[in-house]
Amino acid sequence: MSKQVSNVFDTILVLDFGSQYSHLITRRLREFNIYAEMLPCTQKISELGWKPAGVILSGGPYSVYAEDAPHVDHDVFKLNVPILGICYGMQELAWINGKQVHRGEKREYGPATLQVEDKDNDLFKGIDHSTVWMSHGDKLNGLPTGFKIIATSENSPYCGIKHETEQIYGIQFHPEVTHSTMGKQLLRNFAIDICQAETNWTMENFIETEVQRIRDLVGPTAEVIGAVSGGVDSTVASKLMTEAIGDRFHAILVDNGVLRQDEAANAKKALVDGLGINLSVIDASDEFLDNLKGVTDPEKKRKIIGHTFIHVFEREAEKIKPKDGSKIEFLLQGTLYPDVIESISFKGPSQTIKTHHNVGGLLDDMKLKLIEPLRELFKDEVRHLGELLGINHDLVWRHPFPGPGIAIRVLGEVTREQVAIARKADFIYIEEIRKAGLYNQIAQAFACLLPVKSVGVMGDQRTYDQVIALRAIETTDFMTADWFPFEHSFLKKVAARIVNEVDGVARVTYDITSKPPATVEWE
Ligand code: GLN
């Protein structure tokens, strides 16, 4: 699937040696409207199926001289395209060309000052003295055969090297991290000036090629089904399918009884009326809530919801009657590029591959083929695409919502009553956040219902009711997060509204834990 995109757009191939920054290289290049694709360093070049405009060898945790160190397929040099080695990538180039790599006396981690020695070199165009980010323990102990020095730093005499005659470059620092102040410029110089990659990776162009690709893949008669949640990914994926094959795409929204307030109705309105998607909404809330009866363990809740979902979805899919002579052959999945990266990135000799367990069952049981129109895209690209496809702004910029929904925000047993309390509190909280103009500053916000009772007093009456915990976080990548510093007056207002308007709540608290040590969701 991804091969196709790489055939249409000039592509920079990023070979991943396992650095935690590898995906950032891809990310940066795409910001220049250049398509970049990451593959594990073990990729056989002969099996690529497309020719890259240039290749970047990433950093990595290994030492090139170690016995089990990963190495690049030497056919990469036969491609005759520019190559840039970053950190481990440069050490790999040095290893191949004379084995000039050893353990340095000093590890170098953090900022260093780059001194450009070859000012006419294209790689450093517009860059002279600048701060670069180092993260290495090994270093070159000599110039690799056929190379020259183009940059130095105090601790790295081989901070930048280039092959005398070929367009092969190595740098010791990491241009992909923002701490390298001119790093973007360097990657831009490499991709645009040196590789001469065309800067045509735009979402406008993507829509055009993707719609065509979907038509070619599905063919003139086959039909496709997919689950939608009301979130941005599944909505964008469904809209693309609808653009490509119209009503031969069937979207199913399963109301599992733990969606947000008015969610099913709102999604129906947005998808059917707003976007013309062929959608069926299935109310299976009783079935889900019955299955969740008495269950308090979070992992069990997730499993039950997953299994029930597969069951309901299969049953509903059977009811869809495709047009004469046609058959449902594909299942749509809104997989994004970070999931793909997670499953392909190089993890060393014992490489682990994550499967998309949420659809695995459906594919096998229903004998369907997977179709994933977003698998090349990062989240912000999906959002941009959503806006181009005419999906409304609020939906496009919605906070993420977990698959098991409010079931993991009702701590303890999930009952209709408990869900109603959590849902109403959440609704008030989000409404106030929007009113205060804070929604887009917060990455995710929600209310949880805690299964503890607390004493209160309302209208001179003693109350003994439950506790709502509010959570709001700031983060860019959801790997780490901090709690959002609301004004006290805002919290005061929300707490008062929740206690006054939601029966069953006696107290409201605000969660002031970062991630780590806490996670974003409570369960
Ligand atoms: N493991 C190698 C070193 O320590 C490369 C590090 C890197 O690529 N960041 O030098």
Cα(64) to centroid(ligand 1), Å: 9
Backbone φ and ψ for 235, nearest 5 degrees, come out as -70, -45
Cα(61) to centroid(ligand 1), Å: 5
492 contact partners, CB below 8 Å, separation of at least 6: none
16-21-26 Cα angle (round to 5): 65
Cα(422) to centroid(ligand 1), Å: 48
Cα–chain center distance at 248: 28
The tokens describing 321, both together, are 């009657």
Is the CB–ligand 1 distance for residue 88 below 6 Å?
A: yes
284 contact partners, CB below 8 Å, separation of at least 6: 254, 255, 256, 257, 308, 312
Cα–chain center distance at 485: 25
Structure confidence by residue, pLDDT tens digits, 122-176: 999 999 889 999 999 999 999 999 999 999 999 999 999 999 999 999 999 999 9
Structure confidence by residue, pLDDT tens digits, 182-227: 999 999 999 999 999 999 999 999 999 999 999 999 999 999 999 9
Q: Please state, in angstroms and rounded to a whole number, the distance separating the CA atoms of residues 63 and 75.
A: 21
Mean pLDDT, the chain, integer: 92
Q: Please state, in angstroms and rounded to a whole number, the distance separating the CA atoms of residues 369 and 348.
A: 30
Mean pLDDT over residues 408-421, rounded? 97
Q: Please state, in angstroms and rounded to a whole number, the distance separating the CA atoms of residues 237 and 215.
A: 14
pLDDT (0 to 100) of residue 367: 81
pLDDT (0 to 100) of residue 31: 92
Whether pLDDT at 21 is above 90:
no
Structure confidence by residue, pLDDT tens digits, 280-313: 999 999 999 999 999 999 999 999 999 999 999 9
Q: Please state, in angstroms and rounded to a whole number, the distance separating the CA atoms of residues 119 and 128.
A: 8
Pick the more confident residue, 343 or 139.
139
User: Interface pTM (ipTM) of the complex?
Assistant: 0.92
The tokens describing 183, both together, are 């790093």
Whether pLDDT at 416 is above 90:
yes
Is the CB–ligand 1 distance for residue 121 below 6 Å?
A: no
pLDDT (0 to 100) of residue 8: 87
| DSSP result, 105-137 | EEEEEEEEEEEES-TT-GGGTT--SEEEEEEEE
Cα(449) to centroid(ligand 1), Å: 46
Cα(195) to centroid(ligand 1), Å: 25
Is the CB–ligand 1 distance for residue 144 below 6 Å?
A: no
Q: Please state, in angstroms and rounded to a whole number, the distance separating the CA atoms of residues 276 and 508.
A: 41
| DSSP result, 373-415 | TTTT--HHHHHHHHHHTT--HHHHTPPP--TTGGGGTB-S---
Catalytic residue positions, numbered: 87, 174, 176
**What's the per-residue H, E or C state across 176-195?**
CCCCCCCHHHHHHHHHHHHC
348: left (phi over 0), alpha (psi -120 to 50) or beta: left
Whether pLDDT at 347 is above 60:
yes
**What's the per-residue H, E or C state across 228-275?**
CCCCHHHHHHHHHHHHHHHHHEEEEEEECCCCCCCHHHHHHHHHHHHC
**For helices 232-245 and 203-218, angle between their N-to-C axes, nearest 10 degrees:** 60
pLDDT (0 to 100) of residue 2: 40
| For the CA of 138, the nearest atom of ligand 1 | 10
Structure confidence by residue, pLDDT tens digits, 460-509: 888 899 999 999 999 877 778 899 999 999 999 999 999 999 999 999 99
Q: What is the pTM of this model?
A: 0.84
| For the CA of 21, the nearest atom of ligand 1 | 9
**What is the Cα Rg of the chain in Å?**
26
Q: Which of 98-112, 322-336, 424-438 has the weakest average pLDDT?
A: 322-336
Mutate to test the pocket of ligand 1, among 16, 63, 174, 345 (most ligand atoms within 8 A of CB): 63
The tokens describing 348, both together, are 């060393």
Is the CB–ligand 1 distance for residue 61 below 6 Å?
A: yes
Mutate to test the pocket of ligand 1, among 58, 87, 176, 177 (most ligand atoms within 8 A of CB): 87
Query: Residue 40 — pLDDT band, cuts 50, 70, 90?
Result: very high
Query: Amino acid identity of 4?
Result: Q
| For the CA of 174, the nearest atom of ligand 1 | 9
Classify 15 as helix, strand or coil.
strand
Nearest to 226 by CA among 243, 241, 244: 241
Q: Please state, in angstroms and rounded to a whole number, the distance separating the CA atoms of residues 508 and 466.
A: 9
Whether pLDDT at 349 is above 90:
no
